[in-house]
Amino acid sequence: MTTAATLFGPVTSDLTLVEDALRTVQQAEHDGLARILRHVLNGGGKRLRPAIALLAGTFGRYRIEGLVQLAVGLELLHTASLVHDDVIDTSPMRRGRATANAIFDNAASVMVGDYIFANAAEFIARTGNLRVIRLFARTLMIMATGELDQDVSAYDHSKSIQDYFRRISGKTASLFATAGEGGAILADESEEQVEALRSYGYWLGMAFQIVDDILDFVGNPDELGKPAGSDLREGTLTLPSILLLERHPGARNPVARYFSARRRREQWLNEAVGVIREVGVLDEARRYARDFVDRAAESLVILPDTESRRTLVELGEFVLRRSK
């Protein structure tokens, strides 16, 4: 069984400082706001992005205070984006728990997401590093662009694999890349090391999203907190669906039928999910994820062979193994 100690190695104890800081964000003066913040910020998650930021900082001058501020800011940015995603998608569940919008309504959830975004920026500003502050701002813009691309292309089955990679590079991989790059910057590492850790985070983030999209078809709905094929139901093409469309182009493809159907939509959705599970596209998607994890590991070869580097490599294997 993978535990925090085995997963995050030398930064395990320092991640408790991240958790302590996240608890301070929940202590809002407004009771209603505090209640929603507790619900959102206690929603689970492995804290991969904060861990990457801390691990990246171990290859230079490990300044724990600034690194914790960065780690908290990144986790808050991630959380805020999920809150807004759930509002946009009208998602009732996430990680097996009711979403904020399902409990507190959309208007309150949007405002809480904004509040968490503001807190994220505050923590990043506390690093006092202008380069990191600018990196955070650029990452937020890239993530927003990725989300916008997903929303405006809903139910469009003409998208290619490259379109998909471009979208997830903004939506997901950019934040992983910022965790690696930001941690290295705060530790005054060489530009070669900064680029290595940025690349590591980027490729790991690409793999993470692909695995997430595979789990949407084969994961345990109780653990994931959503039914199989939820992305398709929302009109979002992910890698397995695109691979199926490329193998079997044309209007008779069940994904294309579902996206264009006005009647019997549930039938075509169920057929699409079934076919994706049966024809081998999930194995092909896993091979893409494997390749990205290998690229992430290769990015680290210029770094000294330390426990931190070995932990970063093992995080890639964990991403491939995860079931939720």
pLDDT digits (tens, 9 = 90+) for 271-301: 999 999 999 999 999 999 999 999 999 999 9
Tell me what the mean pLDDT of segment 141-170 comes to.
93
Mean pLDDT, to the nearest integer, of 183-210? Answer: 98
Instruction: Specify the pLDDT at position 98.
Output: 63
pLDDT at position 225: 61
Give the span between the Cα atoms of 130 and 136, in whole angstroms: 10
The string of DSSP letters for 262-311 reads SSSHHHHHHHHHHHHHHSSHHHHHHHHHHHHHHHHHHHTTTS---HHHHH
Lowest mean pLDDT among 12-26, 79-93, 124-138, 266-280: 79-93
> How far apart are alpha carbons 46 and 75 in whole angstroms?
10
In the predicted model, what is the mean pLDDT of residues 119-128? 98
The reported pTM is 0.93
pLDDT of residue 101: 65
4 pLDDT higher than 90: no
| Domains of the chain: total | 1
User: How many percent of the chain have pLDDT more than 70?
Assistant: 91
- pLDDT reported for residue 100: 64
Does pLDDT of 107 surpass 60? Answer: yes
Q: What is the pLDDT of residue 248?
A: 87
User: Could you read off the pLDDT of 229-243 as tens digits, one per residue?
Assistant: 989 998 999 999 999
Lowest-pLDDT range, 41-45, 93-97, 123-127? 93-97
Residue 5: what pLDDT? 60
CATH of the domain at 243: 1.10.600.10
Helix (H) or strand (E) holding 76: helix 64-89
What confidence score (pLDDT) does residue 2 get? Answer: 55
Residue 306, φ and ψ in degrees, nearest 5: -115, 175
Q: Is pLDDT at 20 greater than 90 in this prediction?
A: yes
User: Which pLDDT band holds residue 315 (cuts at 50, 70, 90)?
Assistant: very high
Confidence of residue 175 (pLDDT cuts 50, 70, 90): very high
Average pLDDT over the chain reads 91
Strand-strand pairing, 97-98 and 93-94: antiparallel
> Contact, 70 vs 199, CB < 8 A?
no
The pLDDT confidence band at residue 252, using thresholds 50, 70 and 90, is: confident
Q: What does the pLDDT look like over 41-86, one tens digit per residue? A: 886 678 999 999 999 999 999 999 999 999 999 999 999 998 887 7
Q: How confident is the model at residue 93 (pLDDT cuts 50, 70, 90)?
A: low
Task: Domain of residue 249: give its range.
Answer: 4-321
- Say which residue, 248 or 193, is predicted with more confidence: 193
Report how far residue 99's alpha carbon sits from residue 143's, in angstroms, rounded to the nearest whole number: 21
Q: Which of 113-122, 144-153, 309-318 has the lowest mean pLDDT?
A: 144-153
Long-range contact pairs involving 110-116 (C-beta distance under 8 Å, separation at least 24)? 110/83, 110/84, 112/33, 112/36, 112/37, 112/40, 112/83, 113/80, 113/81, 113/83, 113/84, 113/87, 114/80, 115/28, 115/33, 115/37, 116/25, 116/37, 116/40, 116/41, 116/76, 116/79, 116/80, 116/83
